């Protein structure tokens, strides 16, 4: 999830910062724009590409839905809720949900009293896959803890929070 955030940060930083390079007495001072471009390249270079290049946008959407349904187990989740949460159209969510139904990952049913709404919940297979993915993510984070110090993690989280706040501010301007 953090890698996806950094990819989004990369795209946002490129659009936010626009200034020119200044050379004074032969010393090159990078503009915010150039610093941002350099930062984007550095972030891109530290992203574990082999892992994330294999995942299609559709697969990311399916994983998001599985995780969301797992987190909100027992709640009445309808297709429109998912579309709103993912900021995609109801037509697009219908396509994803159809594929997930075909793969037996979810169970769709009509909401009592309103046949226009479709309730979505995880199937047994969906729960098993979600649990397995969750375990895989725990193991990945255990490896991170083996290689990254507590102070580095705290710094990373502090910086990530600041970056998230900037992104929220930028997003609210649109």
What CATH number is attached to the domain comprising 96?
A: 1.10.10.10
Q: Write down the pTM of the prediction.
A: 0.64
Domain range enclosing 101: 57-126
Same domain, 35 and 84: no
Predicted confidence at residue 148, as pLDDT, reads 87
Same domain, 43 and 62: no
pLDDT higher than 50, residue 18: no
User: How many domains, the chain?
Assistant: 2
Q: What is the pLDDT of residues 19-44, one digit of tens each?
A: 444 455 565 556 666 777 777 777 76
Q: What is the pLDDT of residues 60-97, one digit of tens each?
A: 889 889 999 999 998 889 888 899 988 888 899 999 99
Same domain, 21 and 65: no
Residue 105 pLDDT grade (very low, low, confident, very high; cuts 50, 70, 90): very high
Inter-residue contact 13 to 40 (CB < 8 Å): yes
User: Rounded to whole angstroms, what are the CA distances from 152 to 7, 104, 108?
Assistant: 20, 41, 44
Q: Which ranges constitute the DSSP H helices of 87-123?
A: 90-102
Same domain, 95 and 37: no
Q: Is residue 150 part of a domain?
A: no
Same domain, 45 and 68: no
Using alpha carbons, select from 130, 136, 134 the residue that is nearest to residue 106: 130
Predicted confidence at residue 19, as pLDDT, reads 43
Contacts of 21 (CB under 8 A, 6+ apart): 28, 29, 30, 31, 34
Predicted confidence at residue 39, as pLDDT, reads 72
Contacts of 153 (CB under 8 A, 6+ apart): 144, 145
Same domain, 112 and 98: yes
Q: Is residue 25 part of a domain?
A: yes
Please compute the mean of the pLDDT values over residues 143-155 and round it to a whole number.
Answer: 89
Q: How far apart are the first and last CA of the chain?
A: 24
- In angstroms, rounded to a whole number, what is the distance separating the alpha carbons of residues 90 and 96? 10
Is pLDDT larger for residue 1 or for residue 158? Answer: 158
Sheet holding 77-78, edge to edge: 77-78, 114-122, 106-111
Predicted confidence at residue 129, as pLDDT, reads 93
Give percent above pLDDT 70 in the chain: 73
Give percent above pLDDT 90 in the chain: 22
Predicted confidence at residue 118, as pLDDT, reads 83
* 95-123 CB burial, b ≥16 within 10 A, e <16: ebbeebeeeebbebeeeeeeeeebbbbbb
Between helix 79-86 and helix 57-71 the angle, nearest 10°, is: 120
């Amino acid at each position: 999830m953090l890698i996806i955030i950094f990819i989004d940060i990369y795209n946002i930083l490129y659009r936010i910062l626009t200034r020119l390079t200044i050379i004074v007495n032969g010393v090159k001072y990078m503009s915010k724009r150039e610093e941002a471009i350099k930062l984007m390249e550095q972030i891109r270079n530290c992203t574990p590409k082999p892992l994330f290049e294999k995942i299609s946008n559709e697969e990311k959407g399916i994983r998001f839905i599985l995780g969301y349904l797992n987190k909100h187990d027992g709640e009445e989740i309808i297709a429109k809720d998912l579309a709103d949460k993912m900021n995609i159209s109801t037509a697009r969510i219908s396509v994803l949900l159809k594929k997930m139904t075909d793969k037996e990952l979810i169970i769709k049913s009509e909401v009592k009293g309103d046949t226009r709404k479709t309730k979505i919940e995880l199937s047994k297979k969906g729960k098993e896959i979600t649990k397995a993915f969750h375990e895989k993510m725990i193991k990945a984070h255990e490896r991170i803890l083996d290689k990254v110090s507590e102070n580095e993690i705290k710094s990373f989280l502090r910086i990530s929070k600041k970056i998230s706040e900037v992104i929220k501010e930028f997003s609210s301007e649109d």
